[in-house]
Amino acid sequence: MDPYLKRVLESALIAFDTETVQGKCWTVQVSIEPGTAIVIRATQTKVLKLIADHVAKPGVVVALQGSLFDVAVLRQVGINPVEIVDTLIMAYLLQTEPQGLKDLSFRHCGMIMSKYKDMVGEATRKKAVDYLIVNQR
């Protein structure tokens, strides 16, 4: 078993994020400490089952940013957390905090998060150029 996954399965606080393609779960990202995470594809059902069993236990808290979206996606892959905290809802209720994850992370943790466009920009550009070249013929 992956050492990080083993630590996840022993952790009482786990941060999750999800990515979808056309409304279907594509990946689940799981983190137990700043700057680290594992990415689990929706097809990795054995790993997802291990995580699902763990977060179904009382006392294991799942942290999300925008749980209304992510909980539905997690359920698609069989993950039904018992205890959830949502940083977006927390920020909204305080009425003094930015609600975006990047701004909250910087304000409270000093973390500078990459923009999505910066992470996928070059690959997106290459894919678009390749598409145009193929379809130009």
> Is residue 15 included in any domain, yes or no?
yes
Is residue 72 one of the residues assigned to a domain? yes
* CATH number of the domain residue 84 falls in: 3.30.420.10
Q: How confident is the model at residue 130 (pLDDT cuts 50, 70, 90)?
A: confident
The pLDDT tens digits for 19-55 are 999 999 999 999 999 889 999 999 999 999 999 999 9
pTM of the model: 0.73
Q: Please report, rounded to a whole number, the percentage of residues in the chain having pLDDT higher than 90.
A: 56
Residue 33 lies in a domain: yes
Residue 45 lies in a domain: yes
What single string gives the DSSP state of each residue in the chain? --HHHHHHTT-SEEEEEEEEETTEEEEEEEESSTT--EEEETT-HHHHHHHHHHHTSTT-EEEESSHHHHHHHHHHTT---SEEEEHHHHHHHHSSS--SHHHHHHHHH---PPPHHHHHHHHHHHHHHHHHHHHH-
**Does residue 121 fall inside a structural domain?**
no
Number of domains in the chain: 1
Residue 104 falls inside a structural domain: no
Q: For residue 63, is it within any domain?
A: yes
Domain holding 81, by residue range, is 3-99
